[in-house]
Amino acid sequence: MTSILSSLSAVQISKLSTSTIASLTSEDVNALDSTKIKALSSSQIASLSTDNLALFSSEDLRAISVSAFKGLTLTQIAKLSSAQISGLSASQVTALYTSQIDALSTDQIKALNSAQVAGLSSAQVATLNSSELTLFSSDEIKAISANAVAGLSAAALAALSTENAAALTKSQIAALSSTQLNALSSDSLATFSADEIKAISTKLLAGLDVTKLSTGNVAALSRTQISALSSAQFAALSTDQIKALNSDQVAGLSSAQVATLNSSELALFSTDEIKAISANAIAGLTLAGLGTENAAALTKTQIAGLSSTQLNALSSESLATFSTDEIKAISTKALAGLDVTKLSTGNIAALSRTQAAALSSAQFAALSTDQIKALNSDQVAGLSSAQVATLSSSELALFSTDEIKAISANGIAGLSAAALAALSTENAAALTKTQIAGLSSTQLNALTSDSLATFSTDEIKAISARALAGLDASKLSTGNVAALSRTQAAALSSAQFAALSTDQIKALNSDQVAGLSSAQVATLNSSELALFSTDEIKAISANAVAGLSAAALAALSTENAAALTKTQIAGLSSAQLNALTSDSLATFSTDEIKAISTKALAGLDVTKLSTGNVAALSKTQITALSSAQFAALSTDQIKALGSEQVSGLSSAQVATLSSAELALFSTDEIKAISANAVAGLTLAGLGTENAAALTKTQIAGLSSTQLNALSSESLATFSTDEIKAISTKALAGIDVTKLSTGNVAALSKAQAAALSSAQFAALSTDQIKALGSEQVSGLSSAQIATLSSSELALFSTDEIKAISANAVAGLTLAGLGTENAAALTKTQIAGLSSAQLNALSSESLATFSTDEIKAISTKALAGLDVTKLSTGNVAALSKAQATALSSAQFAALSTDQIKALGSEQVSGLSSAQIATLSSAELALFSTDEIKAISATAIAGLTLAGLGTENAAALTKTQIAGLSSTQLNALSSDSLATFSTDEIKAISTKALAGIDASKLSTGNVAALSKAQAAALSSTQFAALSTDQIAALNSDQVSGLSSAQIATLNSTELGLFSTDEIKAISANAIAGLSTAAIAGLSSSQAGALSAQQLKVMNDAQVEAVIKAYKAV
């Protein structure tokens, strides 16, 4: 019988329950093709009976998906035949759980092929025991992946046959762990080829039991692998294994590995292997007992790596095998710890300069006589001062002349005083200039006078200043002293210099003297200074000259004084200068006098100066004299002063001059007094001639006290420019009554402005007359305020006009005539206050031009008595000025003044100003003036009694600003003059308070939708039949339910069908049933479905009744 499964699709098969799958017959199973089998899930596979599963061919089994295949139960797996197992795909086998792999029988494992084995994971391989692993063929062993091989147990590997071990590939061996490697037997390891041994990672090798390795295994290890062995592993190597090592492997050994070798093991190394030990590894060798043959095998590089401990372990014989290059290869660090007594004279001679220098002072001191003799000049050149310091007199005597010369400048410092004291003149003569330069004062003092006598001039000059500073100068011969350089002579201390004998001082030359310090020069007494030649006197430096004592200078002859240079004189102090006699000072030239410093001059007794000296003083020097010194000058000395010198005098110096002394000054000298110094002058009693000599600059520096000290006659000598030069500060304190009219006329604008109100008030009539327009323009309000009416009358028209805008505020205008008033400028009028304006008469105000009226400030206008303004004045007011008038001022305007207002002025009026207008006054406004009233000001209008003409003149903007009160004040006739746009301009707020009965049908028709909607239900109910009839569809569409509710049947009957349709859905609710009942058939029929929809039952019933009734 054909199974129904043959008719099912793969999808349908995949939907079968596990119970259905479990109940399948063999016919059913046979009906499954590969597509349908592939559709089975893991749960369906697990529900197959073992009998049904046995019916699956290898091809059928391979058709099972990998995910479904994992559903096989352990029972099902156990029933699979070997043929079925071998037919499985590698992917299926890989997908099996470890429990499933572990469930495989021996026969099933045997049935596995290489491809299947290649897919096994490490977890699957880990389930194999030793007996199961032995079932694998060589090909299957090779097929285990490198990742999977990690799963092989140590037990399984321990039982691995040599044949199976030999089957392991290089990749597999590389993947083995140290535990796995150690599990292999020595025989198994012995099957590994050289490449396979090399495949073992250094990480795995680190955990390997190296005793298992054959000599072949050891020989096969790479240098890197050998290097990776721990010192413990290397120490565990047998003699045969060590013998198996080759030179390349030895080259990779570490110092720790090499350190494990004993003497007998090291002896197994061939010469090449000894040489192969690396420079780093050599540090691990223990060289005690190393034979001369092995020692000779050591290379220069290896020797360079030996430590002092290793070198000291070698015998003298072994060290003797080292060549010159090998000795030179010994590091200075190793050499520092070497027992130098083991070195042969050949070894010593082979040492480099650096190595010889590296020997410690203790090592150098331990050298024998033969070893010291073995040293050469090059080695001696590298010796340190510490090494040289170990040499005794007898040892130093072993040095040849060349070796003495070879001692370095640093090394020479180590020579002891004892050694130098015994130095023969031959050895002393062998010392070089450089070596002498390195000798200390102790070493120099240790030398005998005879030894010092061997030094040439250059060698004496080579002695350092530091060494010279400690030298016993008495040992120096006059030749030595003469040989000293300027620097060396300068380096002698004052004590050394003071200790020099007369002969030694005589031996000094000009160049040496030029280098002497002030401290050295200070040790010279008058008799010693007398030994100096004129050239040597001149050679004393500017710094050193300061050391010359007052006693030495006091005894200085005029010849010696004359020898002093300008530079030296510049360095003399006041004490030194005062020590010189007047005769000595008289020898100084003009340039030399000028060279005296101002500091020194400040302490000089000026009475010692001759008139020639005084005349020679520079301007700066004269300035530097104190007021006490200047006061001490005699009449002859003052006479000796020139204009240049006078120009440098300070105010303090000038202040010391009496009238008699000042009289000694020539006109040029008077003029030469500086602007600063003139402040010190006392001018009381100064004659007109002297006063006339004063310059503009000097006058500019005079104080009010000095100016007041001058007589009117003296002041009269001042020119216009000189008067203008007087400072405003000085002028502020001057007695103005002393000024002539010429002086007053000469004052600048700024000076006139600087006079205080008290000074200005003190001016006489003639002085006020002398003022010009320029001066008047600078006067302040305080100055102007001092003027009386009669004084103001003295001002010309130009002078009136010249009064500044700021100053005009000081004017008292009461009684000002029309002529003076007319002279006031627009700018001046702009500065007038309300008090000043009110002080003017109507006639004076009438003289103001239009521009001048406009110049009046709004602040001043605010306090003005407007009744004084002429109609011309009113007409001249600007819009801003008209606006600035208070409501009280505006209310005070006469009928003529109101008539004088223009449209521009009216446009600026405020609501408060407009509110003051009576009906009669408003009637005076022209149509243009009515229109000019601003939207803001319109709120102030009282419209009661406004005629139709005036009402018609109102603009749309003005109407928009009207309140309901203002609108209600208008008559029906006035409202009827409003155009459609003007009606629409009425605000909804104003409309809300309007008496709707005043609106004409034209007014109603002109209302906007929003305005109609804004009418209250009360206003709407008050509309007449004609007014309701005037409504249009657009207005009706905006009506509220409250407004609609006011309509009776008659009023609703006035609505056209379009108006009926226009009633909004919200408003429709306001229709009363009584009103609806009165609808005509056309009206009822005009109601829209939407309107009917929002009606209540009563309204709908009323509509139906209305419709049927028709």
User: Kindly report the CA angle at 643 between 638 and 644, in degrees rounded to 5?
Assistant: 110
Same-domain status, 23 and 40: yes
Full domain range(s) for residue 1110: 1032-1110
Question: pLDDT-derived band of residue 1092, with 50, 70 and 90 as boundaries?
Answer: confident
**Strand, helix or coil for residue 307:** coil
Find all residues with CB under 8 Å of 380, minimum gap 6, and list them: 356, 399, 403, 406, 407, 411
Q: Kindly state whether residue 1042 falls inside one of the protein's structural domains.
A: yes
Q: Kindly state whether residue 591 falls inside one of the protein's structural domains.
A: no
Q: Kindly state whether residue 182 falls inside one of the protein's structural domains.
A: yes
Q: Kindly state whether residue 729 falls inside one of the protein's structural domains.
A: no
Cα separation, 905 vs 932, whole angstroms: 9
Pair of tokens at residue 673: 């007094």
Find all residues with CB under 8 Å of 58, minimum gap 6, and list them: 83, 84, 86, 87, 88
- Residue showing tokens 């009475």: 607
Cα separation, 319 vs 351, whole angstroms: 13
The pLDDT value given to residue 1026:
93
Cα separation, 225 vs 257, whole angstroms: 13
Instruction: For residue 716, count CB atoms less than 10 angstroms from its CB and return exposed for 0-12, middle for 13-18, buried for 19 or more.
Output: middle
Find all residues with CB under 8 Å of 1075, minimum gap 6, and list them: 1047, 1048, 1049, 1051, 1052
Q: Kindly state whether residue 551 falls inside one of the protein's structural domains.
A: no
The pLDDT value given to residue 4:
67
Pair of tokens at residue 481: 């002293």
Question: How many domains does the structure of the chain reveal?
Answer: 3
Same-domain status, 44 and 67: yes
What's this model's pTM, rounded to 2 decimal places? 0.41
Distance, first Cα to last Cα, the chain: 89
- Inform me whether the pLDDT recorded for 448 exceeds 90: no
CB 587 within 8 A of CB 563: no
- Inform me whether the pLDDT recorded for 1108 exceeds 70: no
Question: pLDDT-derived band of residue 1040, with 50, 70 and 90 as boundaries?
Answer: very high
Q: Kindly state whether residue 151 falls inside one of the protein's structural domains.
A: yes
Same-domain status, 22 and 101: yes
The pLDDT value given to residue 693:
85
Cα separation, 492 vs 470, whole angstroms: 9
Same-domain status, 128 and 34: no
Same-domain status, 151 and 88: no
Pair of tokens at residue 4: 């129904």
Residues in the chain: 1110
Q: Using the 3D structure, point to which of 156, 174, 199 is the last residue of a domain.
A: 199
Amino acid letter for position 699 = I
Same-domain status, 71 and 169: no
520-531 burial, b at 16+ Cβ within 10 Å, e below that, comes to bbbbbeeebbee
What's the pLDDT tens digit per position in 346-362?
999 999 999 999 999 99
Same-domain status, 91 and 10: yes
What's the pLDDT tens digit per position in 106-159?
999 998 998 988 899 899 898 998 888 888 888 888 989 889 898 898 888 888
Same-domain status, 100 and 4: yes
Find all residues with CB under 8 Å of 478, minimum gap 6, and list them: 503, 504, 506, 507
Query: Closest Cα partner for 301 from 276, 267, 337, 321?
Result: 276
Question: pLDDT-derived band of residue 381, with 50, 70 and 90 as boundaries?
Answer: very high
pLDDT > 90: what percent of the chain?
A: 46
- How would you write 315-371 as a 3-class SS string? CHHHHHCCCHHHHHHCCHHHHCCCCHHHCCHHHHHHCCHHHHHHCCHHHHHHCCHHH
What's the pLDDT tens digit per position in 35-90?
998 989 999 998 999 999 999 998 989 989 989 889 999 999 989 998 999 999 88
Pair of tokens at residue 1102: 């009323």
Residue 79 parent element (H or E): helix 74-79
Q: Kindly state whether residue 763 falls inside one of the protein's structural domains.
A: no
395-431 burial, b at 16+ Cβ within 10 Å, e below that, comes to ebeebeeebbbbbbeebbbbbbeebbebbeeebbebb
The pLDDT value given to residue 900:
92
- Inform me whether the pLDDT recorded for 859 exceeds 70: yes
- Inform me whether the pLDDT recorded for 617 exceeds 90: yes
Task: Kindly state the DSSP code that residue 997 receives in the 8-state scheme.
Answer: G
User: Kindly report the CA angle at 559 between 557 and 565, in degrees rounded to 5?
Assistant: 110
The pLDDT value given to residue 714:
86
Other C-beta atoms within 10 Å of 173: how many? 25
Pair of tokens at residue 542: 């500017």
Same-domain status, 17 and 87: yes
1046-1058 average pLDDT score: 92
Q: Kindly state whether residue 1026 falls inside one of the protein's structural domains.
A: no
Q: Using the 3D structure, point to which of 199, 233, 252 is the last residue of a domain.
A: 199
Same-domain status, 7 and 101: yes
Task: Kindly state the DSSP code that residue 204 receives in the 8-state scheme.
Answer: H
Q: Average pLDDT of the chain?
A: 89
User: Kindly report the CA angle at 158 between 155 and 164, in degrees rounded to 5?
Assistant: 115
Same-domain status, 10 and 97: yes
User: What Rg, from alpha-carbon coordinates, does the chain have?
Assistant: 68
What's the pLDDT tens digit per position in 6-48?
777 888 888 878 887 888 888 888 888 999 989 899 999 989 9
Query: Closest Cα partner for 705 from 673, 725, 683?
Result: 683
Q: Using the 3D structure, point to which of 108, 133, 167 is the last residue of a domain.
A: 108
- Inform me whether the pLDDT recorded for 1110 exceeds 70: no
Cα separation, 453 vs 742, whole angstroms: 97
Question: pLDDT-derived band of residue 429, with 50, 70 and 90 as boundaries?
Answer: confident
Question: pLDDT-derived band of residue 264, with 50, 70 and 90 as boundaries?
Answer: confident
Same-domain status, 153 and 96: no
